[in-house]
Amino acid sequence: MKPQLNTRELTIYLPGLTLAVKVAASMEELITDPADEDNIPLWADIWPAARGMARYIWECLDFSGQSVLELGAGAGLPGVVCGLKGARVTFSDYKPGALELAAMNARSSGVKDFSCFLADWRDFRLDRRFDWIIGSDILYDPKFHPYLSRIFEQNLKPGGQLLIAHPGRPATFNFIEEWHKKTGRPVTEKIIPVTIEDPYFPYYHVHIHQF
């Protein structure tokens, strides 16, 4: 029998929209081996990059009739907002618990046209192309860049767009610069201020790249 995922609720405020979003009750409870970075449950919370991306999507984009693949979806906040802006959303993550949260949040927010795809970036076998591929803080580690490049090439429609959010990571800037050199695609950037309830690091500037 699958163990129950204990959750807690976060309130996410966007201009004119309030979302009640479920995350894991405790990340610590989900850690089985602290030395195994693949099993650190980063999917279990909503990080600043996802909050910044959600706000950017809500304020700046319209996905009516378009398909969106969210990589590293975790609790699925950006994908949920895409769904509220008219997208057909596919949430993807490599942990079943993440997709459980994403589906829960999509349903509770009124998103009806969504699916979930369980896969590791290193062995990503999704035979579909999308109008958009989005990801919040997914390019933090250069060792994943070749796998993500392959996914972008294989799963983005011709003329499709990428949307990447991060809190100013050099590895992400480097990837986007190399991708621009490789493809010639223009890149736009916007910085979204994000405040979270953290007594030590409450303020972030989230970089949003659309290309």
CATH number at residue 97: 3.40.50.150
Show the domain range for 125: 7-28+40-210
**Among 44-48, 132-136, 162-166, whose mean pLDDT is lowest?**
44-48
pLDDT above 60 for 2: no
Residue 35 lies in a domain: no
Taking the C-alpha atoms of residue 184 and residue 198, their distance in angstroms, rounded to an integer, is 39
Q: 197 is written with which tokens?
A: 């309830």
pLDDT above 70 for 34: no
Domain count across the chain:
1
Residue 200 lies in a domain: yes
Mean pLDDT of 62-82: 98
Residue 19 lies in a domain: yes
Taking the C-alpha atoms of residue 160 and residue 154, their distance in angstroms, rounded to an integer, is 11
For residue 43, what pLDDT is reported? 80
Residue 180 lies in a domain: yes
Judge whether 58 and 38 are in contact, CB under 8 Å: no
Taking the C-alpha atoms of residue 202 and residue 152, their distance in angstroms, rounded to an integer, is 32
Q: How confident is the model at residue 107 (pLDDT cuts 50, 70, 90)?
A: very high
pLDDT in tens, 196-205: 988 999 999 9
Q: How far apart are the first and last CA of the chain?
A: 43
